[in-house]
């Protein structure tokens, strides 16, 4: 009997045999043959056919087939035969080929599938050819794949990134197939005899978690050679350039480009259109995709996927718009955009304080193209205002000019820059980080922190408040003993994990074993303490094998720092064990998915370091406990994470507003929205005290979509705290007490109750009002009320990003201060793309914003409102025309009873948008009420006298000047700051003005320092109101904001609900014609 499991024993039977011998051996053993799980009995005939085939060089072949009664239609249930497999024999020898087919109706086996499903035949290996390698030195080796020189010896050393030896690195010779030559010892050294130094031999060095290094043996006549190789940590590719949004007409061509870096370097690129792979054999692309003779069907989203042996990464998507040859590049009809008018400019015709000035969406459009295809168009074109008209708005005793957009067209995009600003402070006591990245003096006090900071894609500045975790004081360890370090110290609770360091595990960077005392600083970020959420390293994301970014849910992260006893030499540690207490993992499904991760500081992404295995041990009072145990090495990377990939994800729609009116036109961009993902509520299988993830996004023109964990089955499975900040200032969330107001919160019932919205002061009115919590209840696909926001399934990100204003969303708002800004040419400081090239633009250059303030002191018992009226002064195109108005209320001096002061913005003098000639802005400073000018800063007066022309000042109740061209300073009472972002420029200038210095900053008004103008104002009667009192009181009554003509019905209903009656009070000492 012949028994063959699989084809291997049958192959051994036939190797080296002649064709005839192979047939004789098989015929002698037909009693019973077993191949794998298939047994062929004597009733099953195994036929041997000696045939000749030119494709097999005349070798006899055999086939085995199962013979049995056949039904008439059996062939219908069998797939076609597969191709014959490659011959298993070496050259000149006999081997086996096989082919298979499958039953298409497996459940009917024995009825219809009675024919053979496998066949085999004999084959002869390829013809053995003579060795044709020519060696310039030495001789050909026995395998005929390389040259060898017996009298040459190669000595090498392999090290890691930090210089430590790469023990156990494998050294291969690059031939037809990689040939293992040797393995490096514990010192990273190796010795290879016989390698010819002919400049053609290539060695490849491999080690787990490191990129393969290739080195060519140099050409030389020396008999002893030395090579040094340094391995780089292997990582997934990282996208450094994503394709740009572009617009083209039918028939035109476009180039889309992406680029990635990594170790090893990416060597494969794939392109996708609307999620579908573009065939590389048709489009012939690499990292650049060229599309010619475009049609409308090629419009959509494109992204690339870069791959290497280390993994893959996907770029961000670019939108390609394709319009017809004669189609308008932009929709000429402007969108509705309401601006708020001054307090004394109520419009009776519309019964509101608002005016629709129109707005063009700043999206990419088709403009004039240069010849040739480029990754980035030389000139970017966006939809913008192509035609504006001046309208005169009647106000109380004067007319207010404004520019209204009446037609949109395609024009050059406004050039902007992205700026990220912020401050770094200690998480425990707010101590600022000074003089460098993470150092104070010569003492390292904080843990190295890598942060991924979101920014505004359309330009402008974003302010981030960075919290740093204070480095834990080092403890002393004995390197020759087993050391255990606890991770996580909570009162009345066990540590989350422990580090176990075996004896003799510490090494110097040169690979030498370190013996002696070790200073160990291990700082643990404990997710059981909610106050540590903002200190989270990076953004807790990783890239999977397909290149997609996925979130991690943390069970704690720790930073490790080992040094010698003097603290001067950094040490490595090997064979370190991490014992993670399974009792701390409240979600059972996370036990199988837990991994150890390390942070790649170059990309800000977490990369897998190792797995965990379950082990039981006795700890504390003979209690048997279960731990997840993982192994790690502490070398180049010193920041680690105990994380689980989490696929239960959603997005939350959030918008920020300038006031509680929640108007679409008053949305704020550049607001940092942060979310803390909390553990499930009590009653669910987890700990409600712990957090699992911290994320931040930045609001754009349509709000923001912030990611958070969610659950479809249990609405209370996950909760989230959401907060917002602008320039370091926390915005206020909508109240949830004494009862929920769906219209104000922005989410309808009954979904709002299901989400359990609660502002942080819901139960304690003394708590801050700057955050809210919700249950992360994933919307049910069967509920219409839950499929219009504010929670969106993770796969519906685009729907969330493009959701209209009428869709449900959560809201934050900024508490209105006592100031008001009006620009004749509308411009949003949150959206730099809204800038218009007009002579009357307040900011003449979109990439250089110059803010100017004048400090005004008021002697009198009341706080006074002050206005600056800014008009063209010397430029022929703007003389006598209004740039804008600024209103502000003075701030009372905390130390002087009858003194207050104000920092009043005015339009700086300088070049207008065409950069042709300057304009000295005519600035009129007008305090409200019965005020008299007492004095003017002597240095400011002298400057204005010496820089003619000089404005006339015949009215003692106000002050007029042609604004200085030079950036003066606190000695003149003038404060000027230039920045790439208008809000930052104004914030810095205001800080200096409050402080009364040219380089300081303060939020406390110092009314006696750095003053330009001084007025004395008498007390108002009880019947009189200030500008802002009138505005505030009228706002508390009923102000009808007219719905914009092109807004949704839901928005119209919301505005109708804000009806306010008009209340007007005359103001003494105020001249309406000039104010």
Question: What pLDDT does residue 157 have?
Answer: 93
Q: Is the dihedral of CA 986, 988, 991, 996 positive or negative?
A: negative
Per-residue pLDDT tens over the stretch 71-104 = 445 556 778 888 888 888 877 678 899 998 887 7
Per-residue pLDDT tens over the stretch 588-644 = 778 888 888 888 877 778 888 888 888 876 455 456 678 888 888 887 777 787 877
| Angstrom distance (rounded) from CA 866 to CA 779 | 50
Question: What pLDDT does residue 890 have?
Answer: 92
250 Cβ contact partners less than 8 Å away, ≥ 6 residues apart: 294, 295, 296, 322, 323, 324, 325
Average pLDDT over residues 376-394: 90
Average pLDDT over residues 1022-1030: 47
pLDDT band at 44 (very low <50, low <70, confident <90, very high): very low
Instruction: Write the CA distances from 204 to 181, 226, 323, 360, 985, integer angstroms.
Output: 10, 15, 52, 58, 55
Highest mean pLDDT among 333-347, 429-443, 534-548: 333-347
What one-character DSSP code corresponds to residue 266? P
pLDDT band at 785 (very low <50, low <70, confident <90, very high): confident
Q: For residue 512, is pLDDT > 60? A: yes
What one-character DSSP code corresponds to residue 832? G
Q: Tokens 């293992």 map to which residue?
A: 180
Instruction: List 650's β-bridge partners, or say none.
Output: 708, 793
Residues of the chain with pLDDT > 90, as a percent, come to 30
Asked whether the beta carbons of 1060 and 1037 are under 8 A apart, the reply is: yes
Question: What pLDDT does residue 129 have?
Answer: 67
Number of other residues whose CB lies within 10 A of the CB of residue 122: 25
Q: Which of 1062, 1067, 1075 is nearest to 1033 (CA)?
A: 1062
Residues of the chain with pLDDT > 70, as a percent, come to 79
Per-residue pLDDT tens over the stretch 636-659 = 777 787 877 877 788 999 999 988
Written as six digits, the tokens of 681 are 């509520």
Question: What pLDDT does residue 816 have?
Answer: 59
Written as six digits, the tokens of 19 are 């064709």
What one-character DSSP code corresponds to residue 941? H
Question: What pLDDT does residue 16 have?
Answer: 38
Three-state SS annotation for 971-1029: CCCEEEEEECCHHHHHHHHHHHHHHCCCCCCCCCCCCCCCCCEEEEECCCCCCCCCHHH
Strands (E), 586-622: 595-600, 605-611, 613-619
Number of other residues whose CB lies within 10 A of the CB of residue 611: 13
Q: Using alpha carbons only, what angle is made at residue 143 by residues 141 and 145, rounded to the nearest 5 degrees? A: 75
| Angstrom distance (rounded) from CA 495 to CA 555 | 11
pLDDT band at 176 (very low <50, low <70, confident <90, very high): confident
Mean of pLDDT over the chain: 79
Q: Tokens 């975790």 map to which residue?
A: 469
- Say which residue, 501 or 28, is predicted with more confidence: 501
Asked whether the beta carbons of 307 and 268 are under 8 A apart, the reply is: yes
Question: What pLDDT does residue 73 have?
Answer: 52
Q: Does the bond joining 750 to the residue before it have cis omega, within 30 degrees of 0?
A: yes
- Say which residue, 76 or 356, is predicted with more confidence: 356
What one-character DSSP code corresponds to residue 50? -
Per-residue pLDDT tens over the stretch 519-542 = 988 888 888 877 777 777 667 788
- Say which residue, 352 or 42, is predicted with more confidence: 352
Per-residue pLDDT tens over the stretch 879-890 = 999 999 999 999
Question: What pLDDT does residue 155 have?
Answer: 93
pLDDT band at 156 (very low <50, low <70, confident <90, very high): very high
Which of 282-296, 613-627, 801-815 is least confident?
613-627
- Say which residue, 939 or 371, is predicted with more confidence: 939
Per-residue pLDDT tens over the stretch 748-780 = 998 999 999 999 888 887 777 888 999 888 888
Q: For residue 352, is pLDDT > 90? A: no
Per-residue pLDDT tens over the stretch 457-467 = 555 556 666 77
- Say which residue, 695 or 107, is predicted with more confidence: 695
Question: What pLDDT does residue 453 have?
Answer: 53
Written as six digits, the tokens of 305 are 């996927």
Average pLDDT over residues 808-833: 82
Highest mean pLDDT among 370-374, 413-417, 664-668, 955-959: 955-959
pLDDT band at 1053 (very low <50, low <70, confident <90, very high): very low
């Amino acid at each position: 009997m012949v028994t063959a499991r699989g084809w291997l024993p049958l192959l051994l039977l036939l190797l080296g045999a002649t064709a005839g011998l192979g047939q004789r051996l098989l015929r002698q053993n037909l009693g019973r043959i077993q191949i794998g799980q298939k047994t062929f009995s004597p009733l099953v005939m195994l036929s041997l056919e000696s045939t000749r085939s030119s494709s097999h060089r005349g070798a006899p072949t055999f086939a085995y087939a199962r013979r049995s009664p056949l039904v008439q239609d059996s062939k219908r249930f069998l797939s076609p035969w597969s191709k014959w497999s490659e011959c298993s024999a070496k050259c000149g020898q006999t081997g086996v080929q096989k082919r298979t087919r499958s039953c298409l109706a497996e459940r009917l086996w024995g009825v219809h599938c009675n024919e053979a499903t496998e066949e085999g035949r004999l084959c002869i290996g390829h013809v053995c050819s003579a060795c044709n390698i020519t060696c310039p030195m030495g001789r050909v080796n026995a395998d005929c794949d390389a040259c060898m020189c017996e009298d040459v010896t190669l000595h090498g050393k392999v090290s890691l990134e930090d210089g430590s030896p790469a023990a156990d690195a494998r050294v291969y010779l690059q031939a037809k197939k990689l040939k293992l030559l040797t393995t490096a010892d514990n010192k990273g050294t190796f010795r290879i005899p016989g390698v010819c130094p002919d400049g053609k031999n290539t060695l490849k060095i491999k080690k787990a978690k490191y990129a393969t290094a290739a080195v060519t043996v140099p050409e030389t006549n020396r008999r002893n050679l030395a090579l040094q190789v340094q391995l780089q940590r292997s990582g997934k590719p990282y996208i450094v350039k994503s394709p740009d949004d572009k617009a083209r007409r039918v028939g035109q061509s476009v180039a889309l480009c992406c680029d990635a870096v990594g170790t090893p370097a990416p060597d494969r690129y794939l392109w996708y259109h609307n999620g579908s792979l573009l065939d590389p054999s048709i489009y012939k692309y690499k990292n650049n995709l060229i599309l010619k003779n475009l049609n409308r069907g090629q419009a959509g989203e494109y992204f690339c996927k870069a791959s290497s042996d280390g993994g893959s990464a996907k770029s961000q998507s670019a939108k390609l718009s394709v319009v017809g040859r004669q189609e308008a590049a932009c929709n000429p009809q402007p969108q509705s955009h309401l601006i708020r008018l001054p307090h004394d400019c109520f419009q009776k015709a519309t019964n509101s304080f608002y005016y629709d000035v129109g707005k063009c969406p700043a999206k990419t459009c088709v403009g004039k193209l240069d010849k040739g295809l480029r990754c980035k168009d030389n000139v970017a074109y966006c939809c913008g205002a192509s035609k504006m008209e001046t309208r005169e708005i009647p106000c109380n005793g004067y007319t207010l000019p404004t520019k209204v957009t009446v037609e949109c067209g395609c024009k050059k995009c406004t050039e902007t820059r992205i700026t990220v600003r912020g401050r770094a402070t200690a998480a425990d006591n707010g101590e600022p980080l000074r003089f460098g990245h993470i150092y104070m003096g010569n003492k390292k006090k904080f843990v190295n922190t890598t942060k991924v900071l979101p920014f505004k894609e359309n330009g402008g500045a974003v302010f981030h408040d960075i919290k740093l975790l204070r480095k834990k004081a080092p403890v002393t360890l004995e390197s020759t003993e087993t050391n255990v370090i606890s991770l996580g110290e909570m009162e009345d609770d066990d540590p989350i994990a422990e580090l176990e360091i075996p004896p003799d595990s510490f090494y110097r960077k040169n690979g030498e074993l370190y013996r002696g005392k070790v200073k160990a600083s291990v700082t643990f970020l404990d997710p059981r303490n909610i106050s540590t959420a903002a200190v989270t390293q990076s953004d807790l994301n990783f890239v999977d094998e397909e290149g997609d970014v996925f979130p991690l849910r943390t069970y704690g992260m720790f930073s490790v720092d080992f040094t010698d006893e003097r603290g001067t030499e950094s040490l490595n540690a090997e064979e370190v064990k991490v014992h993670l207490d399974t009792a701390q993992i409240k979600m059972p499904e996370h036990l199988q998915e837990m991994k150890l991760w390390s942070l790649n500081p170059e990309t800000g992404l977490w990369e897998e370091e190792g797995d965990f295995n379950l082990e039981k041990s006795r700890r504390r009072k003979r209690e048997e406990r279960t731990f997840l145990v993982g192994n790690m090495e502490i070398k180049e990377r010193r920041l680690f994470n105990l994380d689980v990939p989490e696929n239960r994800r959603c997005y939350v729609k959030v918008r920020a507003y300038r006031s509680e009116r929640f108007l679409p036109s008053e949305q704020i961009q550049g607001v940092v929205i942060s979310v803390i993902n909390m553990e499930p509520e009590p009653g669910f299988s987890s700990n409600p005290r712990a957090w699992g993830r911290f994320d931040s996004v930045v609001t754009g023109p349509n709000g923001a979509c912030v990611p958070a964990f969610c659950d479809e089955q249990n609405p209370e499975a996950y909760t989230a705290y959401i907060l917002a900040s602008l320039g370091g200032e926390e915005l206020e969330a909508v109240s949830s007490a004494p009862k929920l107001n769906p219209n104000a919160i922005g989410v309808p019932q009954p979904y709002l109750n299901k989400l359990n919205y609660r502002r942080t002061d819901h139960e304690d009115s003394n708590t801050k009002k700057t955050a809210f919590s919700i249950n992360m209840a994933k919307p049910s696909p069967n509920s219409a009320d839950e499929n219009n926001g504010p929670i969106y399934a993770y796969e519906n990100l685009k729907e969330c990003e493009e959701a209209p204003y009428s869709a449900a969303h959560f809201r934050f708002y900024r508490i209105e201060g006592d100031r008001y800004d009006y620009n004749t040419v509308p411009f949003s400081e949150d959206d730099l793309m809204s800038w218009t090239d007009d002579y009357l633009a307040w900011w003449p250059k979109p990439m250089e914003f110059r803010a100017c303030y004048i400090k005004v002191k008021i002697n009198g018992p009341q706080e006074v409102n002050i206005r600056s009226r800014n008009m063209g002064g010397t430029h022929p195109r703007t003389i006598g025309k209004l740039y804008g108005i600024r209103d502000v209320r003075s701030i009372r001096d905390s130390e002087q009873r009858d003194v207050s002061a104000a920092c009043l913005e005015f339009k700086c003098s300088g070049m207008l948008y065409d950069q042709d000639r300057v304009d000295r802005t005519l600035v009129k400073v007008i305090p409200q009420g019965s005020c008299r000018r007492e004095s003017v800063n002597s240095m400011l007066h002298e400057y204005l006298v010496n820089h003619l022309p000089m404005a006339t000042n015949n009215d003692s109740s106000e002050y007029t000047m042609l604004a200085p061209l030079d950036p003066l300073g606190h000695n003149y009472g003038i404060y000027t700051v230039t920045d790439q972002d208008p809000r930052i420029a104004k914030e810095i200038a205001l800080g200096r003005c409050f402080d009364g210095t040219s380089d300081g900053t303060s939020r406390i008004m110092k009314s006696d320092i750095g003053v330009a103008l001084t007025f004395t104002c008498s007390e108002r009667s009880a019947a009189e109101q200030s500008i802002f009192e009138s505005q505030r009181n009228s706002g508390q009554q009923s102000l009808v904001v007219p719905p914009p003509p092109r807004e949704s019905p839901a928005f119209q209903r919301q505005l109708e609900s804000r009806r306010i009656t008009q209340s007007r009070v005359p103001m003494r000492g105020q001249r309406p014609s000039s104010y």
